[in-house]
Structure formats: structure tokens, C-alpha cells
Amino acid sequence: MGAIVDTGPIVALLDRSDRHHDWAKDRFVELRKPLFVCEAVLAEAMFLLRNQPVGQDALFELTQGDVLDIAFQIREHIALIRNLLRKYRDVPMSLADACIVRMAEINEGSPVLTFDSDFLIYRKQGRTPLAVIHPTIA
């Protein structure tokens, strides 16, 4: 099963000036494809790459090829996403984070590729830690 990808590693992969570019590039090479992504993550990545049209084009290429699979429809999970946003309001949790947690719940065994340490706080079904691939975790 492929990993679920958060915004940070996508942006780092596409922005060579990002301090985590090499780490992200290595993870994208070694992880089984396709990697799973949600529309909220793509929206965040497009925004962060707004001054890099080449990076935005490359992101579209990743989704049209076999690298990133848009494997989540928010409308099918609205109630559960809303519950997650309420539960983690004090963190705070973004829409993209809530979608990723929900994706981890339905894709058992898929780790989350992220730079966001909040994923160490979030829990699947309220109790199970997420498997996380993070630059500070060996």
C-alpha cells in the first residue's frame, strides 16, 4: 500500500531551494507508487507554489502520471472530517490534515509522509497513532 502525502513533502520535492528537497526527493523515489493525496493537499501545494509556475505544472504532471493518486473525496466523509476538526480544534487542525487522518483510517497500513509534527498528536479512530514518515524520525 502506498503512503499518504502531506503538502510539505510535495512542495519540497518541487522546490529545489527548499531545505528538505533532497529528503523529499529520496522518499518519493523509494516509496511504492502511487502515493495517495487529497484535493485539500493539492490546493495547499498549489498555493505555496504560486510563484513557481514550473512547480505548479510539475504538480499537475505528478497527478496525471502514476506518482500521485487523488484517492479521496471529501464529500463522502464530511461528518467524520467535521468531527476531527472539532476534536483537534486546539491544535489547530487544517482541512488537509483532517482529510489525511481520515485517509489513514481507511487505508490501513499507509504511513503519512509529512513535515508536520501534529501528525504525531493525531489519532486514527481517536486512539491509534498514525504511522509517520518524517525527517526527524528514524
Cβ atoms 35, 3 nearer than 8 A: yes
CA distance 117 to 129: 12
What pLDDT band is residue 1 in, cutting at 50, 70 and 90?
low
CA distance 53 to 103: 29
Amino acid 37: pLDDT = 97
Domains in the chain: ranges and CATH: 4-133 (3.40.50.1010)
Nearest to 119 by CA among 136, 138, 100: 100
* pLDDT tens figures, 58-75: 999 999 989 999 989 999
CA distance 106 to 109: 9
Beta strands in the chain (DSSP E): 4-5, 35-37, 68-70, 112-113, 123-124, 128-129, 132-133
Query: What does the pLDDT average to over 77-103?
Result: 96
Residue 126 has pLDDT above 90, yes or no: no
Cβ atoms 136, 28 nearer than 8 A: no
pTM here? 0.95
Residue 43, Cα to own-chain centre: how many angstroms?
A: 11
Q: Give me the DSSP letters along 48-80.
A: HTTT-HHHHHHHHHHHHTTSEEE---GGGGHHH
